[in-house]
């Protein structure tokens, strides 16, 4: 599937020549395609290289992805031209009120500094908190993973005796975890860092799950279900020559530099390394985008909607009066309610009851009751609302005859399970 891309970005030609499908920002709307909106907080020094690496993997999935690049307001890049930053990057204050389905935060060349000495640390922790509350799924890489773990759980980073550099085999510890499904036991991962996180420092009472680790390089991937986050301490996104370029850079700078382990053929830096982790990177990022999509379009077995749909809490209808109740989960009720009312007006209907509940932990819930509706008409109304109202997550409906179901955008009918006697599903023939 395509990735939404600005053709003026330096990576455009590289990705196009590699066969990645690239589309203009207005193209998904013309195709009526759903788009996953991913924010990329890029703190790596070589911005264009990281943009290409991440976009290449996001474009190799079954989802159309739109990437927004941003940095903290106080951040100033020392290695990327100001013109590039001004043209393609936004500041944190410009994006913080937007809705994103996913967030990726890269590593940064500051890992030997105490966290609080990083100039943009306060903004970064605010971004972490924003992601926890507002973003569907987060993926933190290398130093960013260490920083997020420290902020959320107080986990320290520990200096290593020397830089850990190379490609190491990793063992899968949670084979049923969605993010690592399809990865082979002992899958290779590039490692490049001066610090690490010890498994012994992870608190045992906060639900953290170690998904993969290496006997040689330590922790690789940790899942944090409560925060819908994954902490990746290594670099599956790296190109085949990235470790070689880092090794040459360290030597030129006079820093202690050992040949990356298990990387060059026969440990000879004169020979070109193989991209042995490419398949693993594709699998992991596809899995992550599937998780992002699942969070963005939740299934109808979520408890709130199903409990309401199968419950008996609706006010009784007057004898002989057909009615239908609707429960609509929506991102922003202030814009959705007028749009829903316009849809109803198209059916020459108006609600006799309309109520909105708002919770900081969930989307807005719009409850409304219509009289003179039921059966196929209720199904058509629900389908229409799900199709045309922006920001809809799902539309649940039930009528006095026990007919009910759920509609989700782009997904058609998602019937609720007949858990309670008396509920029967609507026909699938309604237009």
Catalytic member of 151, 170, 230, 235: 235
Neighbour count for residue 358 (Cβ, 10 Å): 12
Question: Rounded to an integer, what distance in angstroms lies between the CA atom of residue 86 and that of residue 89?
Answer: 6
Given a contact cutoff of 8 angstroms between Cβ atoms, the answer to whether 64 and 1 are in contact is yes
90-91 and 65-71 as β-strands: parallel, antiparallel, unpaired?
Answer: parallel
Residue whose structure tokens are 């609706």: 314
Q: Which residue has the tokens 């059966």?
A: 375
One of 142, 220, 324, 333 is an active-site residue; which one? 142
The answer to whether the beta carbons of residues 310 and 421 sit under 8 Å apart is no
- Choosing from 237, 291, 324, 379, the catalytic residue is 237
- Is residue 142 annotated as part of the catalytic site, yes or no? yes
- Answer yes or no: are the C-beta atoms of 258 and 162 closer than 8 Å: yes
The terminus-to-terminus CA distance of the chain in angstroms comes to: 28
DSSP class of residue 45 equals: S
| Tokens 């980073």 -> residue | 157
Structure tokens at 115: 């966290």
Instruction: Please confirm, yes or no, whether 235 is among the known catalytic residues.
Output: yes
* Tokens linked to 8: 């003026």
Count other C-beta atoms under 10 Å from residue 56's C-beta.
21
Instruction: Decide: 4 and 25 in contact? Cβ < 8 Å.
Output: yes
Q: Is-catalytic flag, 252?
A: no
Contact status, residue 168 vs residue 263, Cβ threshold 8 Å: no
Instruction: Give CA–CA dist 320/228, Å, rounded.
Output: 48
Residues recognised as catalytic: 142, 235, 237
């Amino acid at each position: 599937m395509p990735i939404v891309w600005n053709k003026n970005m330096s990576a455009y030609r590289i990705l196009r020549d590699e066969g990645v499908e690239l589309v203009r920002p207005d193209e998904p709307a013309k195709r009526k395609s759903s788009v996953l909106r991913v924010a990329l907080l890029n703190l790596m020094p070589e911005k264009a290289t990281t943009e290409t690496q991440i976009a290449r993997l996001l474009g190799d999935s079954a989802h159309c992805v739109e990437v927004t690049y941003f940095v903290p307001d106080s951040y100033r890049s020392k290695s990327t031209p100001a013109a590039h930053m001004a043209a393609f990057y936004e500041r944190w204050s410009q994006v913080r009120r937007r809705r994103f389905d996913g967030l990726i935060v890269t590593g940064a060349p500051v890992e030997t500094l105490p966290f609080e000495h990083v100039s943009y640390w306060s903004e970064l922790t605010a971004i972490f908190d924003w992601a926890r509350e507002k973003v569907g799924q987060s993926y933190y890489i290398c130093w960013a993973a260490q920083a997020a773990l420290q902020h959320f759980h107080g986990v320290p980073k520990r200096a290593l005796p020397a830089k850990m550099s190379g490609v190491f085999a990793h063992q899968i510890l949670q084979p049923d975890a969605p993010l690592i499904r399809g990865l082979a036991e002992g899958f290779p991962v590039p490692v490049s860092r001066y610090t690490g996180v010890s498994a012994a420092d992870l608190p045992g009472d906060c639900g953290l799950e170690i998904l993969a680790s290496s006997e040689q390089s330590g922790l690789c991937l940790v899942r944090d279900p409560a925060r819908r986050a994954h902490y990746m301490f290594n670099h599956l996104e790296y190109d085949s020559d990235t470790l070689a370029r880092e090794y040459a850079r360290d030597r030129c700078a006079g820093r202690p530099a050992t040949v990356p382990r298990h990387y060059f053929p026969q440990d000879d830096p004169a020979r070109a390394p193989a991209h042995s982790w490419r398949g693993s990177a594709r699998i992991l990022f596809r899995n992550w985008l599937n998780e992002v999509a699942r969070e963005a379009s939740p299934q109808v077995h979520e408890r709130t909607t199903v409990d309401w749909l199968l419950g008996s809490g609706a006010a009784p209808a007057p004898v002989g009066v057909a009615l239908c109740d609707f429960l609509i989960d929506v991102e922003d009720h202030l814009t959705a309610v007028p749009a829903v009312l316009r849809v109803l007006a198209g059916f020459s209907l108006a609600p006799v009851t309309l109520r909105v509940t708002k919770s900081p932990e969930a989307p807005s819930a719009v409850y409304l009751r219509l009289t003179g509706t039921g059966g196929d008409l209720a199904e058509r109304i629900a389908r229409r609302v799900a199709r045309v109202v922006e920001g809809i997550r799902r539309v649940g409906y039930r009528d006095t005859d026990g007919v009910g179901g759920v509609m989700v955008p782009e997904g058609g009918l998602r019937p609720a399970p007949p858990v309670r006697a008396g509920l029967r599903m609507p026909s699938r023939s309604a237009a």
